[in-house]
């Protein structure tokens, strides 16, 4: 009797979520591998994932590490990025200003229709599942008075520094707490934030905030970080973490040791030069005193008092 193979159909994702791609040609000092190839491998992975699920890539800002990428990097982005809906991060913008968007590489990809730019007041309707609103760096999200009655999921892409526990990533960072954002924007089913390169999800009353974190490991403190994107299903507003391909052992801390030694050596050199100048000034001052006393017939008691004062200053 022939056996029947059971086929399990997995429900497809309606979007893939990411942020902080920071595409660049230069190599972070901490990386010891072929960094360009590592970037392109991840983009190919995400493109295949989006094509497999027939869904868009939603990116919460900082597509590029600098607002003026080279023609080569632009052409590779056109080749390797899936169709994406994005907002602009500060790295995508000259002077961190959205008013300068027209000058940017990000805008080149928008004009080439590789990317769609989401705006606060103009939603991107995608299929029968979601409407995407975008808030780029320095902008504020649109406050809707009520949830969409048509059954669409409202999604907000926001390049905003957000934390999951309220702790600031550095003193005075001004980061917002994820739960407070969810409470303040109840009209959005899904909020995707960028700028914080850490990775977390927060849920509140069936709504979700996802901070995907950076797709590349760019600093030594990310040696143990595992980049990922997130698959999102509109049916139940659920997200699934999808690890990105990485090579272990390619993020080094050796440069920190070198920098520490170089910094120590520099401080020592500055100290020596400063001490040398102080000593030279002291010698010059004493020589000037001697020259003054030689040319002027000062009272011996005056000379004695002056030299006593100089010796006390040297001893202090």
Is the pLDDT at 283 greater than 60? The verdict is: no
Is the pLDDT at 256 greater than 80? The verdict is: no
Quote the pLDDT of residue 273: 61
Q: How confident is the model at residue 107 (pLDDT cuts 50, 70, 90)?
A: very high
What pTM was computed for the model? 0.77
Is the pLDDT at 4 greater than 50? The verdict is: no
Q: Could you tell me if 103 and 111 are in contact, meaning their C-beta atoms sit under 8 angstroms apart? A: no
Superfamily of domain covering 15-243: Metallo-dependent phosphatases (3.60.21.10)
Give the pair of three-digit tokens for residue 218: 């760019």
């Amino acid at each position: 009797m022939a056996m029947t193979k059971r086929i399990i159909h997995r429900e497809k994702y309606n979007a893939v979520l990411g942020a902080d791609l920071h595409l660049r040609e230069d190599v972070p000092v901490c990386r010891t591998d072929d960094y360009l190839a590592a970037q392109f491998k991840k983009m190919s992975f995400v493109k295949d994932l989006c094509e497999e699920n027939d869904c868009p890539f939603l990116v919460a800002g900082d597509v590029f590490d600098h607002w003026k990428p080279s023609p080569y990097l632009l052409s590779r982005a056109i080749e390797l990025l899936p169709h994406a809906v994005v907002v602009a991060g500060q790295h995508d913008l000259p002077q961190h200003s959205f008013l300068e968007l027209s000058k940017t590489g990000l805008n080149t990809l928008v004009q080439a229709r590789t990317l769609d730019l989401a705006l606060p007041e103009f939603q991107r309707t995608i299929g029968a599942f979601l409407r995407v609103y975008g808030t780029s760096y320095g902008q504020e999200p649109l406050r809707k008075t009520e949830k969409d009655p048509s059954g669409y999921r409202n999604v907000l892409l926001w390049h905003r520094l957000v934390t999951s526990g309220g702790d600031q990533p550095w003193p005075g960072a001004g980061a917002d707490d994820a739960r407070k954002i969810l409470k303040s924007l109840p009209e959005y089913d899904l909020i995707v934030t960028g700028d914080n390169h850490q990775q977390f999800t927060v849920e509140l009353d069936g709504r979700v905030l996802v901070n995907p974190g950076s797709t590349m490991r760019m600093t030594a403190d990310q040696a143990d970080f595992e980049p990922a994107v997130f698959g999102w299903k509109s049916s139940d507003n659920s997200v699934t973490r999808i690890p990105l391909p990485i090579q272990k052992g390619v993020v080094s801390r050796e440069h920190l040791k070198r920098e520490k030694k170089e910094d120590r050596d520099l401080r020592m050199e500055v100290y020596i030069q400063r001490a040398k100048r102080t000593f030279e000034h002291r010698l010059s001052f004493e020589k000037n005193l001697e020259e003054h006393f030689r040319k002027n017939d000062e009272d011996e008691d005056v000379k004695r008092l002056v030299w006593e004062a100089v010796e006390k200053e040297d001893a202090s």
